[in-house]
Amino acid sequence: MLDRRELFRLTIGALALRCASTDPTRLRARPSNPTSIAPAGLYELQLGRPTLLYVPEKPSGAFMLMLHGATQTPQRMLVRLKDAADALGVTIVAPKSAGITRDAIRGQFGTDVAFIDGALRAAFAQSNVDRKRIALAGFSDGATYALALGRANGDLFTHVIAFSPGFLIPIDRVGSPRIFISHGTRDPILPIDDASRPILRDLRRENLSVTFREFDGEHWIPPKVAHAAFEWFRR
């Protein structure tokens, strides 16, 4: 027969599980023993929506979920980041958004989170993953989304990389991932004074560790900034 203490523990556990299962920002995928290891190369995962898995020649166990910007594609992001991934042995999975941008940028979290969860499961099943080095990265709208989803899933993502984000989406934070933000000082699309500088202030108010890198440029990811972000992630 359960005593009151044990009954209380089980009740709280059940309530926590129920709340987690109904939170639209929560991801369930977790690294485990892979069923098979994908050799070095670029693969398209058969998930019903374009999703790329890139495995470098010498994978280190570091793993990154990469989210493209509005109107962009996973291929475009990998072109920008492939050299940094190769240099530092980072495996990348890059899923396509359902629309021209992701759900919560203009509405609520929903189908994109569910698809990302499936993409992570598929990628984890083929990758050796260091649980201490799992990053969520994004560019532009993808960076805005990464800052939200990464803060909501800090028990999965150890690092969040935001290249030129626009704003902070309110979420219930779980954990305290480390954060890297970069932004061009001449960005005409998401001006730095309206975007990353206020974001930096608000994240530090959340007592999060944030590395902030400004560069003289517009709305893009300079190769030097990409390498700096990947090196920060690997440290």
Question: Which residues does the chain have with pLDDT short of 50?
Answer: 1-20
Tell me, what's the pLDDT at 3?
A: 43
pTM for the model stands at 0.90
CATH 3.40.190.10 fits 38-234, yes or no: no
Tell me, what's the pLDDT at 19?
A: 42
Tell me, what's the pLDDT at 199?
A: 98
In 3D, which of 33, 30, 84 has the Cα closest to residue 54? 84
Tell me, what's the pLDDT at 5?
A: 40
Tell me, what's the pLDDT at 100?
A: 94
Tell me, what's the pLDDT at 20?
A: 44
Tell me, what's the pLDDT at 31?
A: 96
Q: Where are the domains of the chain?
A: 38-234
Instruction: Compute the CA torsion angle 140, 145, 148, 151 (nearest 10 deg).
Output: -90
Tell me, what's the pLDDT at 211?
A: 98
What is the C-alpha separation between 185 and 206, in angstroms, rounded? 24
**Residues β-bridged to residue 93:** 53, 65
Tell me, what's the pLDDT at 22?
A: 76
The β-bridge relationship of strands 134-139 and 51-55 is: unpaired
The alpha carbon of residue 214 and the mean position of all alpha carbons in its chain are separated, in whole angstroms, by 20
What is the C-alpha separation between 142 and 225, in angstroms, rounded? 17
